[in-house]
Structure formats: structure tokens, C-alpha cells
Chains A and B, each alone.
Chain A
Amino acid sequence: MNAVYALYDNPAAVQRAVDGLRAAGVADADIQIMSSEPFEEYEFGHKDSASWIHWIAGLGGITGLTAAYLLTSLTQQAWPLRTSGMPIVAPWPNLIVIFEMTMLGAILATVLTLFVSAKLPRRLPPLYDTEVSDGYILVGVQRTSGQPLGDVTAALEAVGEGRVKHVGR
């Protein structure tokens, strides 16, 4: 693994670094940005924002609903005891259990999607710097060994504010 990154102390410099990397021909997918806070106000903060998480949450809800419906109705039919004049499969009380399990399904699916798509849990990869937690913003590019990174280094240094560091060489 071969990587180069720079640490900047302000998001405006990060934006310039990202623009510089693009101008140098680096693909958006190869640019890695790490920070101790999200930067929604800057264009680089919107990288990788598209996600299926909302749809998967909905799917989780549907799964919970189906499971709850089957749990309540099948178990009531398996041992048909009449209670307080209610039908064997009592829709009104069952709705409560169905609602709770629907929401539980949506919540669990959301969390599961978060973990999978954010690649958590994982070991800290080599392209990381603990100074990110000190408030610095990391902009880096990672390439397989042997590929040159001179153009990337030049683009990161051109911003004039960051500290450029190398990993793996």
C-alpha cells in the first residue's frame, strides 16, 4: 500500500486541496477525507452522500411487520383459547405487537446498514492519523504499491497550508 495525505486545520483549505486533486486527474473515488466532525457546509462534505439506507430501513420495517403478523396470528391459532369474547386471532391487540415489531425491524435494519456501509467495526487502516481527533482534516490518496504519487503530493502541497505525510514508503 502506498499513500500520501495532508492535514489541514481548516475546511476551506481542504476544499482547495480536493479541487487541486481533481485538477491533477485524481478520481473522486480515490480521494479520502477524514475529520472529527462532518462538514455539510462545504462541497467536499457531500462526498459519498448517496445511500440506500432509507430504503433498507423500510425493508426492515416490512420484515418486522411480517414477522409480527405471523408470530401473533400463527401462535393464536396453534392453541386457540378464547379470551374475553375476542376472536381467536384478535386484530386490535395484535396491531400493537405488529407496530412495535415493525419499528424494531426498521431500527435494527438502519443500524445494521450503518455498520455495513460505514465498514464498522474494523481495525484502523494505515491511512489514518490520530491528529484527525485534534481537529485536523485529512485529505489523502491511497494507491497500490508501485504506483507513483508525485502528482498527488504536488497537488496537496500546492494548497500551501497543510502538512504532507507519506505512508508505506
Chain B
Amino acid sequence: MNRTRNNPLADDLIRPLLHTSVWFYGAVLVLATIVLCGAAAWAYQVWYGIGVAGINWPVFWGFYLTNFVFWIGISHAGTLISAILRLVNARWRRPVTRCAEVITVFALMIGATFPIIHLGKPWLFFWLAPYPSAREIWPNFRSPLVWDFFAINTYLTGSLLFLILPMIPDFAVIRDRSSGLRRRIYGTLALGWQGTTTQWHRLEAAMQIMAVAIIPVAVSVHTIVSFDFSMAHVPMWHSTIFGPYFVAGAIFSGIAALIIAMAALRRTLRLHAYLHPLHFDNLAKLLLLMSLLWGYFVFSERLTVWYGNQPSEMAVFWATQRGEYASLYWTMVFCNFIIPVGILSFRRLRTLPGIVLVSCGVLVGMWLERFLIIVPGLANKPLSYSWGTYSPQPTEIVIMVATFAAMALLYMLFSKVVPIISIWEMKVGNQPHPALPADEEEEQQGLWRARP
């Protein structure tokens, strides 16, 4: 292994896989303990029944569904942003894409567990799958929950493949630079990749097609999640704006999560040479744009409800504006609009700590937004005899905290086995461009096609 190397970038990006600090083990231990507490809480709920959660008539959707929508929203950080940047060939995307795509896969996996937790009887989950029961009854394809099943599984499959395919060349690099068991493991993962011109062309073509396919799928996923609400006659749910409103909110929270993950990676894995302030600045501008868009949607939704002045909707409206949910509502507005616009609009304030602070606020705000969409509507249904309240119970809180720990844990473990920045994509970004006259370039492009 003492031969001359022509690939210092790979050395640098593989380094975190080969060297592990004691802090890493400590963090893994703490996070794994929290995740185990969450698993224990879920086991407790399964054993004693869904009654241990705070969901009760009339508020049957509480923390679990809030977290479901929240995590599915976070998943929009990765594949969607990565696919868009890949299609527009943004050069600054190269260190960002894998960090982002990983968020999608793990957030989707975590988000998808919440409806199962919410079922109370998780072993009946397969009833959603397109599989006939003993009486030959298939799932009801008119149900939004079945749409969720198809949308989430398509997005998860697509995102997983979108993440894994560009990892294959990097696995080959690790395979060739390691020995023993590690070489065998990465050799298996590399699938015999050699880096022939055919393999590169097919990989890039596949990534291009998947980028095109994954964008409408990502949009459809959160639109369909919004349909879970807008298809129901619950005050302030039955809205045509919910599809784009949810998608915008998902991208908004996704970018915030991506910024936090990138900042954490930059600091812990010392990736300052790859994750530049420029990357954070560009993402911050996107975050600002999404904040303004989010504000526009909230205003449109609120104005329409207020102008319509229907008693059932106004009950929810005032409960959130100045009633029992007002503190949460205004915290949401503060975190999602006032702080981002107030800080990110000014270049002097758009520093790395400032951007991370805003992103943390956006995550809080977007979680509150999901909660405020779900709970006040259910607690203030059209007839006042069905009004109620919701108080989250310790089981729900522990499970929710555990999912945040699970996200951090999975991300940390992933960054220990896979270069979190794509080696080959970074190298492509650093390639010098040979100076060729335009006519010669055109001629060379067609040369291979013309040859027999």
C-alpha cells in the first residue's frame, strides 16, 4: 500500500471510515440507549394497548401522525434537492448530494414506521399491501392510506437506489485500498465495478433518468400525505391548497435538516475543505425562498378561511390564532417566517452559525405546523358535542425523541461505512477542462458513434 497515489481526494474522504474517535463510540452508545428506550416504549404500548397513548375521542391523530408528516417532509431534503441540482448540473451540488440523499432514506424509513406504531396492532400492517385477504378482498384503492403505501414505497425504493448506485464506484475505491475482511465486504458491495467507459456511461444515464423520475414522485409523496387530510371533512383540512402547501413545507423543513446535517458533518468529520461557506450560503438562500413561499401559503389559507367565515372553520381558526393553541401558532410563525426572513435576508447575518440557528428554528416551526394542522382540527369538529382536547402521554414523547436519536444514529453509522461525500463526483468537479476548438469538440463527440 506504499505505491504512489494519484488520488489524494479519496484518501481524505475515506479517512473517516478508517479512523474512529472515542467520541464516536460514546455518541453511538448514548443514541442507541435512547433508541432502545423508544423501542421499549413501543413494546409497552403494544403490550398494554394503544390506550397508553394520549390519542382518544375525538382526537384520534396526535403525536404519531404529526411525526409521520414531519419525517416524510424531512425526507424531501435529499433526493428531491439532489435530483434538481443534478438535472440543472449545478457544480456546487457535488459535496452536498450524498449528505442529502441519506437524509431522505432514513427519514422515510422513520416516517413510515409511525403509521405502523399508530395502528396499535402493528402485525396487521400488511392489510395495506396489495394482497387479498382470505375472503379475496383486496385493499380499497379509493383510500388515501393505500395511496400512502404506494407513494412512500415508490419514493423509498427510488431514493434508496438513487443513493446506492453512485456509491458503487466509491465502494470499488475502498475495495482496492483495503485488505482482509474489509476488502471482502467492500468487494461484494462494489459488485465487480472496474470503471470502464461503458459502466460510467450507463451509471450516468441511469442517474439522469432516475433524477427525472424521482422529482414528480417526491412531489406526489407529500401531496398524497396532504390528501390524508384534505380528503376528510374536518375543519381547515378540506382544502385544495393542501397539496402544494405540504410540498413547500416539506422542502422547507428538508433544506433545514440538510443544513444541520452538513454543519454537523463538517465539524465532526473535519470536512471544511469540501463543505464550504458557499454551500451553506446557497442553501440558506433556498431556505429563505421557501420561508417566503411558506408564508404565502399560510396567508392564502388563513385569508380564505377567515373570509369564508364558516363557524366550524372559524372555531379552529380562532383556537390557533388566539385560543389554546395560540402560543404554538405564533411560535411557528416566529420560527418559520420572522426569524428566517429577518436573518437570511441580510448577507452580514447569513453566517454559518446564523444559518444553522435558523435551520434549527425551522425544524421546530415545521414540527409545530404539522401538529397545528392535525390536532386543532380534530379537537374542534363541526358539532360542539364532539369537541375535545389532546395531551401527549410519556409513551408518545419517548417514541418521538427516540426517532430523532435514531436519525442521528443511522446518519453517524452510515458516515462510518460510506464516504459521506461522493469521491468520484468530487473528482469530476475538479477535472481541468482541455481547451479544444468548438468544431474539433463537435467532431470528437461524434467520433465514437461514427466508428463501426
Which of A's residues lie within 8 Å of B, judged by CB? 9, 11-12, 28, 32-51, 53-54, 57, 71-72, 75-76, 78-79, 81, 83-84, 86, 90, 93-94, 96-97, 99-101, 103-104, 106-108, 110-111, 113-115, 117-125, 128, 130-136
Contact = CB atoms under 8 A, between A and B. Distances in A.
Contact of A43 (B10, B203, B214, B448): B448
A49 B201 contact: yes
A130 B176 contact: yes
29 contacts: A12-B434, A34-B196, A37-B428, A38-B200, A38-B428, A42-B434, A47-B198, A49-B201, A49-B448, A50-B448, A54-B205, A54-B209, A57-B213, A75-B141, A79-B136, A79-B138, A93-B141, A96-B147, A96-B150, A96-B224, A100-B150, A100-B217, A103-B213, A113-B206, A114-B202, A117-B198, A117-B202, A118-B198, A133-B7
B435 to A, nearest CB: 10
B interface, by DSSP: helix, strand, loop or mixed?
A: helix
B444 interface: yes
Nearest to A114: B206
B429 to A, nearest CB: 10
A41 B200 CA distance: 13
A101 to B, nearest CB: 7
B194 A134 contact: no
Interface in B316-353: none
Contact of B201 (A51, A57, A83): A51
Contacts of A51: 201-202, 205
Given A53-B209, A71-B130, A93-B141, A103 B217 contact: yes
Interface in B187-225: 187, 191-206, 209-210, 213-214, 216-217, 220, 224
Contacts of B158: 103-104, 107
Interface stretch (B101-109, B164-172, B278-286): B164-172
A34 B140 contact: no
B19 interface: no
Contacts of A108: 157
Contacts of B5: 134-135
Contact of A79 (B137, B165, B176): B137
Nearest to A79: B137
B136 A78 contact: yes
Contact of B434 (A41, A53, A99, A117): A41
A50 B449 CA distance: 7
Interface residues of B, number: 72
Given A83-B142, A97-B147, A124 B224 contact: no
Contacts of A46: 197, 444-445, 447-448
A108 B202 CA distance: 14
A103 B138 CA distance: 22
A77 B444 CA distance: 58
Nearest to A117: B202
Nearest to B451: A28
B272 interface: no
Of all A-B residue pairs in the complex, the 10 with the closest CB atoms, nearest first, are A135-B6, A135-B7, A133-B176, A121-B191, A122-B192, A75-B138, A130-B176, A43-B444, A38-B200, A100-B150
A93 B449 CA distance: 45
B362 interface: no
A49 B209 CA distance: 15
A120 B193 contact: yes
A28 B53 CA distance: 68
B130 A44 contact: no
A98 B7 CA distance: 46
A103 B210 CA distance: 9
A83 B145 CA distance: 15
Nearest to A73: B141
Contacts of A97: 141, 146-147, 150
A97 to B, nearest CB: 5
Contacts of B143: 93
B202 A118 contact: yes
B151 interface: yes
B447 to A, nearest CB: 6
Contacts of B202: 51, 53, 113-114, 117-118
B156 to A, nearest CB: 10
A53 B210 CA distance: 11
Most buried by B among A32, A37, A90, A115: A37
Given A36-B169, A47-B448, A107 B210 contact: yes
B6 A136 contact: yes
A118 to B, nearest CB: 4
A99 B220 contact: yes
Given A54-B209, A107-B158, A134-B3, A123 B444 contact: no
A10 B424 CA distance: 15
Nearest to B141: A72
B197 A47 contact: yes
A146 B187 CA distance: 31
A35 B5 CA distance: 14
A96 to B, nearest CB: 5
Contacts of B270: none
A47 to B, nearest CB: 4
A3 B127 CA distance: 57
Contact of B173 (A33, A36, A107, A122): A36
B20 interface: no
B53 to A, nearest CB: 28
B191 A122 contact: yes
A83 B231 CA distance: 13
